[in-house]
């Protein structure tokens, strides 16, 4: 078996997890699932990272309190209403957790709660109270259950997002998977959307938190669709230990590094899926930076490139306007010698050099356009000043982004 293998499934890929999603009346559209539930057979060690927006949804505040002891056993999340800036927000979030205890038997204080949707929309517990039995009855430890959960957390997403891997750990086979939602209001500095991860690996709360924070810094914090950081962003992970590996206690060693590598693979894949599904997007935009003096410099440059509105528009139009890449590098605030910068555009259709030593080189506009017509574009930036690297994910900017956000509430 290879070290890390992608497998089918998401939230239910790991041993001991069940999930589901149903329409419970939060959304007016009865064909859309709007509440997701994920449950571990046993209490799990847990960790979360949260939005850096000063305006935080009530579910964030409740979850912070619940996960303070490093334990959780269930996740409940609704779409269609962010439960943010509501006078009764805490009451609603705590009520959702109490319903999990009533119907599933998981203690309310061991529930991670999340919401996504319109901010400032009135909300009541009534839809949950009326339909929670249906949600509880549909729980499954199957891929189908996980898919329903992934569908239930979607807002403007056009595809559900699920990823899972299998990997060896201490002589045992472990699995780690998750679901995510994110299409708009996504910007670096974390987390940038909703993501619920599950694993049957045994790992201490301290090591789990360090692993999640480390991986988030290199994945979800390097993702941007539109530069807006939401009020409800959260990434959570539950580790129930049912794979039976020797528990990882310290934030070091072979097993810890293997766990971090598996977690990175899942989160990296989810980043790419979310970026490609950005609101109105037609192309995934990736920036790979090499040769930086430091990781911080590499990250600043990569983020600046994928967040550039001008470059995003050029990518939409398949215009090899490499000057916009240099422009973004120039205002990134990074320690860069522009006279050393090389830039290539790459896709599955080929690679074309467009800049060497901070100056343009002759290239075929027709060939460049053909390369940029692909739906996955990589901007390769070589700073040629060191050995640090970074990667960031984004998407093109299209007419449809404005259409979607022009009437989002209605």
Q: Which residues are catalytic?
A: 192
CA dist list (Å): 308 to 125, 210, 249, 299, 330: 41, 31, 41, 14, 12
Distance (Å, whole) CA 106 – CA 16:
14
248 and 255 Cβ atoms separated by less than 8 Å: yes
| Residue 43: count of CB within 10 angstroms of its CB | 16
Distance (Å, whole) CA 408 – CA 183:
13
Closest of 162, 69, 179 to residue 116, by C-alpha: 179
**Strand 350-356 to 234-239 pairing:** unpaired
233 and 194 Cβ atoms separated by less than 8 Å: yes
Distance (Å, whole) CA 164 – CA 78:
22
Closest of 38, 232, 40 to residue 148, by C-alpha: 38
Q: Which helix (H) or strand (E) holds 328?
A: helix 323-331
End-to-end CA distance of the chain: 50
For helices 254-276 and 205-218, the axis angle rounded to 10 degrees is 40
């Amino acid at each position: 078996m290879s070290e890390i293998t992608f497998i089918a499934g998401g939230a239910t890929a790991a041993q001991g997890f069940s999930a589901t999603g149903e329409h419970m009346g939060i959304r007016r559209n009865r064909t859309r699932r709007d509440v997701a539930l994920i449950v571990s057979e046993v209490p799990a060690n847990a960790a979360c990272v949260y939005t850096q927006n000063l305006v935080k949804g009530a579910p964030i505040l409740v979850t912070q309190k619940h996960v303070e002891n490093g334990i959780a056993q269930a996740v409940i999340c609704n779409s269609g209403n962010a439960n943010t800036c509501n006078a009764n927000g805490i009451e609603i979030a705590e009520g959702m957790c109490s319903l999990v205890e009533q119907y599933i038997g998981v203690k309310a204080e061991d529930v991670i709660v999340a919401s996504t949707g319109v901010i400032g929309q009135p909300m009541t517990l009534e839809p949950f109270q009326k339909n929670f039995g249906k949600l509880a009855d549909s729980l499954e430890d199957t891929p189908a259950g996980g898919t329903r959960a992934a569908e239930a957390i979607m807002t403007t997403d056009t595809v559900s997002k699920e990823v899972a891997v299998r990997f060896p750990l201490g002589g045992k086979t472990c699995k780690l998977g998750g679901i995510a939602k994110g299409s708009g209001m996504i910007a670096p500095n974390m987390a940038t959307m909703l993501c619920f991860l599950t694993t049957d690996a045994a790992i201490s709360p301290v090591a789990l938190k360090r692993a999640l924070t480390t991986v988030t810094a290199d994945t979800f914090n390097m993702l941007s669709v539109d530069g807006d950081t939401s009020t409800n962003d959260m990434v959570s992970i539950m580790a129930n230990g049912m794979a039976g590996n020797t528990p990882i206690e310290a934030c070091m060693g072979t097993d810890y590094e293997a766990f971090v590598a598996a977690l990175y693979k899942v989160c990296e894949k989810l980043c790419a899926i979310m970026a490609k599904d950005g609101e109105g997007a037609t192309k995934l935009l990736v920036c790979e930076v090499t040769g930086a003096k430091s990781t911080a410099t590499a990250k600043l440059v990569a983020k600046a490139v994928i967040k550039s509105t001008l470059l995003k528009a050029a990518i939409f139009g398949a215009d090899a306007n490499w000057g916009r890449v240099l422009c973004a590098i120039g205002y990134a605030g990074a320690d860069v010698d522009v006279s050393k910068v090389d830039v290539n555009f790459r896709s599955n259709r080929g690679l074309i050099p467009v800049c060497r030593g901070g100056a343009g080189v002759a290239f075929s506009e027709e060939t460049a356009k053909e390369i940029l017509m692909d739906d996955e574009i990589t901007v390769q930036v070589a700073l040629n000043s060191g050995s640090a690297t970074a990667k960031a994910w984004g998407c093109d900017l299209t007419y449809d982004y404005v259409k979607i956000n022009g009437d989002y509430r209605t």
